[in-house]
Amino acid sequence: MRHRIEEDALGRVNVPADAYYGSETQRNLDNFKISGFRLSKDFIVSYAILKKAAAKANMRTGKLDKRKGNAIMKACNEVIGGRLSDQFRIDAYQAGAGTSTNMNLNEVIANRAIEMLGGRKGDYRIVHPNDHVNMSQSTNDTFHSVIHITAHTMVKDRLLGSLDALERSLGRKSKEFSGIVKTGRTHLQDAVPMTLGEEFSGYEYAVKKVRMGIEEANERLLDIPLGGTAVGTGINASEEYSRFAISELNSMTRCGFRISENRFASMQNQTGELMMVDSLKDAAIVISKIAGDLRILGSGPRAGIHELLLPEIQPGSSIMPGKVNPSVCEMMIMVCFQAIGNSRVVEEGAMNGQLELDVFMPVIAFNLITSIEIMSNAVDTFNRLCVKGIRADEESIKKGLESNISLATALSPRIGYAKAAEIARRAYKTGKTVKQVCLDMGILDGEELDKVLDPKNMV
């Protein structure tokens, strides 16, 4: 492989001749061969958008030469468009704070801008990664800002839409099943009747509440410390830079990002990330519960509850012919497990930052953005391939309801709890219905029993 030689503060580095990245990226690639996991394409695109906004702001303040600035902006456009995606190979587990990722962007953008201006890669006299691409910036304010930009836009453009669609599907099922009376269950034991529609209305409202929590957290991510540079003071940035940069950023993203009210607090802490990851964890817990309930209610087909008919999307066994499993529910639950685990990593990263900087931002970014991505995709799949196609097995529901001994609960106001409990136990031991036991014991006449024990009167 042909190489070019670049120099940095630590000495000479061999960089592949055709690479757009430079010495700092190469050092990271050599030093941190950890996982093969990388910060997402969305994160890189968001960083390039920020770099473009910074270049335009620096030109507006007169700090950046327009010829260099325009070339930097054009190079940023190529990164945003995905043309140079193979140049971003930094491991998610890297040196603290994300400096390697920031310099990866700076070097790639600089070298592409150099080419556009007629130079050769590595000739940083034309466009310098630090002096020009990173002008008025630090990893410490930009990486943190990019976490907010990426997470906010992904939630706005993907996750909230997936959750809203799931909520609407559950609402439609609630209406569709509103007339189906079934056995309710507590402690996994038969309980008093309810409608299947009521059960699904609970799922609908639970999704609504976690969606609202995510929306609230997403609003907090609009606060960014851009312009704080190293520790929040804004050293090396002009007075108007932050305002101009955020204005350009909002023009490109069509969002409402704003300067943090206190940049020191914003750079010292990860409160926005924590609020978002907590709301994601809440959503994962709620949706995992719903998916688990659907598995139980669809269990069978002969020896389970089998009140629900879940869509059959693929064979379920390599040894048992004809077996079909609740595969989509199982996928959804596994994704929820991962999102809940990711939240713990973000919490640890936020808790262990020190003084003016949280050096664990790379692992916070990786886990937060991963959670948003997998939850968005999984909720969409769960809705499309499972929830939308759920049907009720009304025959199985009716059979279970007729034999439900908890119907005796409706007798308590007339004959007392103790007598009703005796009837329920006799029904269980003899295999008879509650009504049959009541008739055998001469408790109320048939017409009155029909009225009292009618499940429709209990919902």
Q: Which of 144, 187, 318, 396 is catalytic?
A: 187
Cα–Cα distance between 438 and 415 in angstroms, integer?
11
CB atoms within 10 A of CB 254: 8
The backbone region for 323, taken as left when phi is positive above 0, alpha when psi lies in -120 to 50, beta otherwise, is beta
- The radius of gyration of the chain's CA atoms, rounded to the nearest angstrom, is 30
Question: Is 222 within 8 Å of 212 (Cβ atoms)?
Answer: no
SS3 assignment, position 341: helix
SS3 assignment, position 368: helix
How far CA 331 is from CA of 37, 279, 340, in Å, comes to: 21, 20, 14
Looking at residue 391, the DSSP 8-state letter turns out to be E
Cα–Cα distance between 162 and 248 in angstroms, integer?
29
Q: Which of 35, 85, 251, 317 is catalytic?
A: 317
Question: Is 135 within 8 Å of 54 (Cβ atoms)?
Answer: yes
What is the token pair recorded at 119?
Answer: 């130079």
Question: Is 325 within 8 Å of 316 (Cβ atoms)?
Answer: yes
3-state helix, strand, coil in the chain (%, to 5): 65, 10, 30
Q: Is 187 a catalytic residue?
A: yes
Instruction: Point out which residues pair with 412 in neighbouring strands.
Output: none
Give catalytic residue positions.
187, 317
